[in-house]
Amino acid sequence: MSSMDIHQILKYLPHRYPFLLLDRVSSCEPGKSIIAIKNVTINEQFFTGHFPRHPVMPGVLIIEALAQAAAVLAYQTDGHRVNDDSIFYFVGIDNARFKKPVVPGDTLELKVEFKRFVRGIWWFSAVAQVAGQLVAKADLMCTLRSSQTSDQPDTHS
């Protein structure tokens, strides 16, 4: 099980500020699971408007952070790194649930488990926790596609 600092994470994700939502990977076991960390601070751009007097991390960004952790796990499992030729696309989410708000000062622990790979689709089960308390969970799907063609997944359905 390997850990990763931010410099290593940047080799596996195309995301950059302000949309990179992982700070560290605590452990990654390719083909099995990953645990990643997002340190939530008041300096996050989204807190300016969500909500000014009661800052709460948007649920969709918690799901995006889980999807980014899933992408790192998929890249590690498949032996790829981000390049100009291919990219993992987030193509589906099922059973998303939000249990508690995430606020500045929280350390978001993102746990993603690889479930299966079928016909080009990667399936994951994901949970987000703060101090051992469940804050969100979802089943995620992603696919690896060429970034050089118009062969993009249909994300409008």
pLDDT digits (tens, 9 = 90+) for 48-59: 999 989 999 999
Residue range 2-146, CATH number: 3.10.129.10
> Would residue 153 be called left, alpha or beta, if left means φ above 0 and alpha means ψ between -120 and 50 degrees?
beta
Instruction: Please answer whether residues 53 and 97 qualify as being in contact, where contact means their C-beta atoms are separated by less than 8 angstroms.
Output: no
Q: What's the chain look like in SS3?
A: CEEECHHHHCCCCCCCCCCCCCCEEEEEECCCEEEEEEECCCCCHHHHCCCCCCCCCCHHHHHHHHHHHHHHHHHHHHCCCCCCCEEEEEEEEEEEEECCCCCCCCEEEEEEEEEEEECCEEEEEEEEEECCEEEEEEEEEEEEEECCCCCCCCCCC
Is the pLDDT higher at 112 or at 83? 112
Residue 50: active-site member: yes
Q: Cα separation of 15 and 91, whole Å?
A: 16
pLDDT at position 157 is 46
User: Of 7, 15, 50, 80, which one is the catalytic site residue?
Assistant: 50
pLDDT at position 77 is 93
Task: Assess whether pLDDT exceeds 90 at residue 117.
Answer: yes
Model confidence pLDDT, tens digit, residues 119-145? 999 999 999 999 999 999 999 999 988
Q: What is the mean pLDDT of residues 39-56?
A: 95
| For the chain, domain boundaries | 2-146
Mean pLDDT of the chain: 92
Instruction: Please answer whether residues 128 and 62 qualify as being in contact, where contact means their C-beta atoms are separated by less than 8 angstroms.
Output: yes
Cα dist. 98→10, 54, 65, 79, 114 in Å?
A: 28, 17, 14, 32, 21
Task: Assess whether pLDDT exceeds 90 at residue 79.
Answer: no
